[in-house]
Amino acid sequence: MVQSAVMGYGVVGSGVVEVLTEHKDSIARRTKEEIGIKYILDIRDFPDSPFQDKFTKSFEDILNDDEVKVVAEVMGGVHPAYEFTKQCLERGKSVVTSNKELVATKGAELLKIAKKNNVNYLFEASVGGGIPIIRPLSQCLAANDVIEIAGILNGTTNFILTKMIRESMSFEDALKMAQNLGYAEKDPTADIEGYDAGRKICILASLAYGKHVYPQYVHTQGITKITLEDVAYAASWGGVIKLIGQVKKLEDDTLDITVEPMFIEKSSQIASVDDVFNGILVRGDSTGDVVFYGKGAGKLPTASAVVADIIDCVKHLNKRKYLDWADGDETIVKPYSETKYPVYIRVEVEDKQNAFNKALELFSNARALVRANAGENELAFVTDEMTVSQQEKSVKAFEESGYKVLSKIRISDL
Name the residue type at position 316: H
Nearest residue to 125 via CA among 212, 19, 25: 19
- Which of 75-92 are b and which e, b meaning 16 or more Cβ less than 10 Å from the residue's Cβ? bbeeeebbebbbbbbebe
User: Judged by CB, which is closer to a second copy: 198, or 296?
Assistant: 296
User: Judged by CB, which is closer to a second copy: 8, or 298?
Assistant: 298
Nearest residue to 288 via CA among 272, 274, 271, 269: 269
Shortest Å, Cβ 47 to a second copy = 27
Shortest Å, Cβ 109 to a second copy = 21
Shortest Å, Cβ 143 to a second copy = 4
User: Judged by CB, which is closer to a second copy: 113, or 273?
Assistant: 273
User: Judged by CB, which is closer to a second copy: 289, or 384?
Assistant: 289
Shortest Å, Cβ 127 to a second copy = 13
User: Judged by CB, which is closer to a second copy: 142, or 372?
Assistant: 142
Shortest Å, Cβ 142 to a second copy = 5
Task: Name, in order, each residue with C-beta under 8 angstroms of 269's C-beta and a sequence gap of 6 or more.
Answer: 279, 281, 289, 291
User: Judged by CB, which is closer to a second copy: 76, or 132?
Assistant: 132
Task: Name, in order, each residue with C-beta under 8 angstroms of 182's C-beta and a sequence gap of 6 or more.
Answer: none
**Any bridge partners for residue 37, and if so which?**
4
End-to-end CA separation in angstroms for the chain: 48
The one catalytic residue in 38, 86, 100, 200 is: 200
Shortest Å, Cβ 271 to a second copy = 9
User: Judged by CB, which is closer to a second copy: 30, or 57?
Assistant: 30
Task: Name, in order, each residue with C-beta under 8 angstroms of 243's C-beta and a sequence gap of 6 or more.
Answer: 152, 153, 154, 157, 158, 161, 194, 197, 222, 223, 259, 260, 261, 262
Count of CB atoms within 10 A of residue 143's CB? 10
Q: What is the DSSP letter of 342?
A: -
User: Judged by CB, which is closer to a second copy: 130, or 194?
Assistant: 130
Residue 334 CA to residue 245 CA, distance in Å, equals 15
Nearest residue to 265 via CA among 102, 43, 78, 414: 414
Residue 200 catalytic? yes
**Any bridge partners for residue 239, and if so which?**
265
Burial-class residue 222 by CB neighbours within 10 Å (0-12, 13-18, 19+): buried
Question: Residues interacting with a second copy, by CB under 8 A?
Answer: 19, 23, 26-27, 30-31, 124, 130-132, 135-136, 139-145, 269, 272, 284-295, 298, 300-301, 303-305, 307-308, 311-312, 315, 322
Name the residue type at position 258: T
Integer-rounded Cα radius of gyration of the chain: 23
Residue 56 CA to residue 49 CA, distance in Å, equals 13
> Is the CB of residue 12 less than 8 Å from the CB of residue 299?
yes
Task: Name, in order, each residue with C-beta under 8 angstroms of 98's C-beta and a sequence gap of 6 or more.
Answer: 12, 74, 76, 123, 125, 126, 302, 305, 306
Shortest Å, Cβ 203 to a second copy = 18
Shortest Å, Cβ 298 to a second copy = 7
Nearest residue to 229 via CA among 318, 164, 134: 164
The catalytic residue positions are 200
